[in-house]
């Protein structure tokens, strides 16, 4: 109906002009309009004016965008065409209340009022550039309610929009903790989420390793953010009490967790046994702590026999206990393995792994016939020669006797 009314009004005006033109030679569109009639009118019907036949560019106001679809009379309310404004505000209500000046084209185009890309570009020239999540918001998210929309002198303080976020945050509870209302202390405008905080924890307790992914309240209980202890046990006492392998409480372990643990993970522990009086070498590296620390971790014995008494007592070749071997296991054994022993029989006593006696025996008892005394040995039990022969062969030897100890005295290397 509104469109029809405008058309009727325009026809009425044209008819009036036509009647008046018969009695006057003045231009009904104003004496200053120096344009030939046929530019807009046709001879068959003076009232038939083809829509937009007139090239509006020649008067300095191009008809483009949405302007192409409006009726002439929407802007030209009288036939005096020069009596019309060319500023946007002459036709369009300024919802910004002149706060942003009269250059509507700074943000809008004739194609659409919703030219958001250009709006953002202009906005970035202000004291509040649109970055991060702010770049994806509708203008109305901050410039609230069209009838009271404010664009100039709008507060750029975070709390002006985010006070509810501040009040409703529970991890940590900002209000109870007395956090500053300046969100920029911990959050960045360029971030896409509140979780992307930039708060730098005190250099006295940097949040690295396993501490880097924790919620604040995991350590700051009851939103207590200041003056909390930095000692491990203040947060990890329950971990300390619940460990059963090894039992920290029973063994009276130090509360300084860093002696064995690091901030990357609670397990595995990285206690450096090599810094103690008993470095772990050989087979000792891979055994469980409790195999040696059967009675706790303090003042644990470091001598072999304390752990290997059963090995000592159960060995039968040779029988250590019967032979009254010393308890210093390291004399014959190493930490690499209990067997074979590293007893150097050749170097210290008599060559049985080299020379003529190599592979001529099977057991220690072949020579050491007295299991209770390894200082005793027999030579004549193995050698296939008669005493009479040896007596004859050694008749020129002074102090010769048919006895194993005498053999060793003259033949300490087992040679002729």
- Nearby residues of 205 by Cβ (< 8 Å), 6 or more positions away: 230
* pLDDT, position 9: 52
The tokens for 204 are: 């006295």
Rounded to two decimals, what is the model's pTM?
Answer: 0.39
The tokens for 191 are: 């971030």
3-state class (DSSP) for residue 105: helix
Handedness of CA 103, 105, 110, 115 (dihedral sign): negative
The tokens for 52 are: 């937009």
Q: Count Cα atoms within 13 angstroms, Cβ side, for 216.
A: 18
Per-block average pLDDT, block size 10, for the chain (416 residues)?
A: 49 49 64 80 80 77 84 84 83 79 81 76 85 82 68 82 89 80 83 72 79 80 75 90 85 86 83 85 86 79 90 87 86 85 82 88 85 83 78 85 87 82
- Nearby residues of 171 by Cβ (< 8 Å), 6 or more positions away: 215, 216, 217
Dihedral (Cα; 229, 235, 237, 238), 10-degree rounding: 160
Q: Under a CB-based contact definition with an 8 Å cutoff, are residues 301 and 310 in contact?
A: no
Nearest to 40, CA basis, from 55, 27, 61: 55
Neighbours of 354 (CB within 10 A): 12
Cα separations (Å) of 112 from 67, 69, 92? 10, 13, 13
* pLDDT, position 175: 84
* pLDDT, position 149: 62
Polymer length of the chain: 416
* pLDDT, position 408: 87
Residues 225 and 174: their CA atoms lie apart, in Å, by: 10
Residues 50 and 42: their CA atoms lie apart, in Å, by: 9
* pLDDT, position 111: 83
Q: What is the largest CA-CA distance in the chain?
A: 178
* pLDDT, position 310: 92
């Amino acid at each position: 109906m509104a469109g029809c009314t405008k058309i009727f009004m325009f026809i009425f005006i044209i008819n009036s002009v036509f009647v008046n033109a018969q009695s006057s030679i003045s231009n009904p569109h104003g004496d200053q309009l120096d344009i030939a009639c046929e530019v807009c009118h046709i001879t068959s019907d003076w009232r038939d004016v083809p829509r937009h036949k007139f090239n509006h560019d020649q008067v300095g106001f191009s008809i483009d965008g949405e302007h192409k679809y409006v009726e002439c009379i929407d802007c030209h309310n009288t036939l005096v065409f020069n009596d019309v404004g060319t500023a946007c505000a002459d036709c369009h209500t300024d919802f910004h209340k002149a706060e942003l000046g009269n250059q509507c084209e700074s943000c809008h185009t004739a194609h659409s009022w919703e030219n958001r890309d250009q709006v953002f570009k202009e906005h970035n020239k202000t004291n509040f550039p649109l970055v991060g999540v702010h770049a994806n918001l509708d203008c109305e998210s901050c410039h609230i309610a069209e009838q009271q929309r404010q664009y100039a002198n709008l507060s750029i303080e975070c709390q002006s929009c985010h006070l509810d976020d501040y009040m409703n945050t529970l991890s940590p509870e900002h209000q109870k903790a007395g956090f500053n209302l300046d969100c920029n202390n911990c959050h960045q405008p360029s971030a896409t989420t509140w979780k992307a905080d930039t708060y730098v924890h005190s250099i006295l307790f940097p949040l690295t390793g396993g501490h880097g992914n924790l919620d604040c309240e995991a350590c700051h209980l009851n939103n207590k953010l200041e003056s909390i202890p930095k000692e491990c046990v203040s947060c990890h006492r329950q971990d300390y009490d619940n460990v059963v392998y090894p039992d920290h409480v029973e063994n009276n372990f130090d509360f300084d967790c860093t002696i064995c643990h690091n901030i990357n993970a609670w397990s595995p522990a990285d206690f450096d046994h090599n810094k103690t009086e008993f470095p772990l070498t050989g087979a000792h590296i891979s055994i469980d702590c409790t195999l040696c620390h059967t009675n706790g971790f303090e003042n644990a014995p470091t001598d072999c026999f304390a752990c290997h008494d059963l090995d000592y007592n159960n060995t039968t070749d040779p029988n250590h206990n019967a032979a009254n071997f010393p308890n210093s296991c390291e004399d014959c054994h190493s930490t690499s393995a209990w067997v074979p022993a590293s007893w150097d029989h050749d170097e210290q006593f008599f060559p049985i792994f080299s020379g003529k006696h190599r592979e001529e025996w099977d057991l220690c008892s072949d020579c050491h016939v007295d299991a209770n005394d390894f200082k005793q040995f027999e030579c004549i039990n193995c050698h296939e020669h008669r005493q009479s022969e040896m007596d004859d062969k050694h008749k020129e030897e002074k102090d010769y006797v048919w006895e194993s100890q005498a053999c060793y005295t003259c033949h300490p290397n087992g040679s002729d």
